[in-house]
Structure 1
């Protein structure tokens, strides 16, 4: 289920064609799937179920720079990712944020949180050292999230 490429599929718009994933996001995460507006990636930190949504819009650095209709679509995709994280992991909280202080390309973090996780009750950003997944666990987690998103999309496209 996991896509093998780190760049978006053939694009229908020139803006998407010019879009490139920031090198830091490329290095720190793996592809899960593509939603209509965002690339979905798993942050390579086994301590937390942590998803990144990256809108495929060239040069986008801040939420307020998106056209309103696109911002609504991105928010719908954030909601979809959160629902899938809730369904798969049953966390007590899902933190989400678009911070952008270190990586200026707009990306939205969705992190499933538990009272026994490594950072609880503090934020995950800047807490300890990242612990990369072993390859099998990384693939298993990415595939589970991709399958959840595919199933979620199918259920909601028939509404």
Structure 2
């Protein structure tokens, strides 16, 4: 459930598209056509570290992250799923789930710092978002 004090970081809002809401997290699609990439944001105010979550919410975050990863893997053939909670640029707690394939734009390095995002064409963004909503059950 969304906490009334929760507000999405402006950078996350600008770089992602909302797909829907799990029990704890907003599920968002990163607008970078180079990588199939989900971002989960726990809807609790003032979080910057996973340790800031209550234990039950930590467990729920992990379950929701795994559900998102499973859906992404079913949507996009990939060689590896990458998970990240960096927070160096955006302090608000959020989890990245990225489907990676050998030979992608950053392989074998990390997606972070691999160049400027390549925005989806509007129709491609709508198509990918719609398919992921369906796969995620959102």
TM class by shorter chain equals over 0.9
Deviation string 1:54-78 (CA, Å, 9 cap, x unpaired) is: 0000011100111111000010000
Partner of 2:68: 81
SS in 2 for 1:102: coil
Aligned to 1:53: 40
**Which of 15, 34, 37 in structure 1 is aligned with 2:21?**
34
* Unpaired segments ≥5 residues, structure 1: 1-10, 152-159
What's the counterpart of residue 119 of structure 1?
106
Residue 20 (structure 1) aligns with: 7
Q: Give the one of 74, 85, 95 matched to 1:108.
A: 95
Structure having the higher helix fraction is: 1
Whichever of the two has the greater Rg, that structure is 1
- With structure 2 as the length reference, what TM-score do the two structures score? 0.97
The aligned residue for residue 92 of structure 1 is 79
Runs of 4+ in 1 over 2 A off after TM superposition: none
CA RMSD of aligned residues (A): 1.1
Q: Which structure carries more relative contact order (alpha carbon 8 Å, separation 6+)?
A: 2
Q: Is 1:135 aligned with 2:122? A: yes
What whole-Å deviation, never above 9, does each CA across 1:91-116 have from its counterpart, x for those lacking one? 11010010000000000000000002
Contiguous gaps of at least 5 residues in structure 2: none
Aligned length: 138
* Cα distance in 1 for residues equivalent to 2:103 and 2:72: 17
Give the Å deviation of 1:128: 1.1
CA distance in 2, matches of 1:85, 1:27: 21
SS where residue 104 of structure 2 aligns?
coil
